[in-house]
């Protein structure tokens, strides 16, 4: 059994949004199963470990809203500039199940904003 530390990542759904590009439906049960497993595994990591991990399966990195390859210019949540210093994304699995996109508050809480199962934030590549 793995023990957790006070610095391990905690996931929050407080800011979860669903819109025309980032939505889930009843047909996405396998996607959701894989996403929950990934979140469970990442709860054993610290924020620093997540952000410096260069695993090809994880692909964790910041989101640059000004990048021309990005389909949005922000999350569009109220008080976003005060809440979110930087957006991040990570893979659920190697290019098959899309990404989880959100932001950190504090040292360890990752707020999930979108489940990007169809790679719509970076539609031209698998970002």
| Strand arrangement, sheet containing 10-12 | 10-12, 109-116, 99-105, 87-91, 61-63
Cβ neighbourhood burial of 46 (10 Å; 0-12, 13-18, 19+): middle
**Which residues make Cβ contacts (< 8 Å) with residue 12, sequence separation at least 6?**
105, 109, 110, 111, 112
CA count, 13 A, side-chain hemisphere, 123: 6
Domain boundaries, the chain: 10-116
Residue of 90, 81, 83, 78 whose CA lies nearest to 114: 90
CB 89 within 8 A of CB 101: yes
Q: List the beta bridge partners of residue 109.
A: 10, 105
Q: What is the pLDDT along the chain (127 residues), one digit of tens a residue?
A: 455 567 899 999 999 998 888 888 777 788 888 899 999 999 999 998 888 887 878 888 999 999 999 999 999 999 999 999 999 999 988 767 789 999 999 889 999 999 998 889 998 765 4
């Amino acid at each position: 059994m793995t023990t957790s530390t006070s610095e391990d990542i905690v996931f929050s759904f407080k800011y979860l949004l669903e819109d025309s590009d980032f939505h889930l439906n009843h047909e996405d049960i396998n996607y959701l199963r894989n996403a929950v497993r990934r979140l469970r595994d990442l709860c054993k990591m610290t924020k620093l470990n997540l952000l410096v991990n260069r695993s090809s399966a994880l692909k964790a990195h910041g989101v640059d809203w000004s990048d021309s390859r990005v389909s949005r210019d922000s999350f569009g949540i109220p008080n976003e500039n005060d809440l979110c210093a930087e957006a991040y994304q990570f893979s659920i699995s190697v290019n098959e199940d899309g990404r989880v996109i959100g932001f950190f508050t504090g040292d360890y809480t990752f707020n999930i904003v979108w489940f990007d199962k169809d790679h719509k934030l970076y539609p031209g590549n698998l970002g």
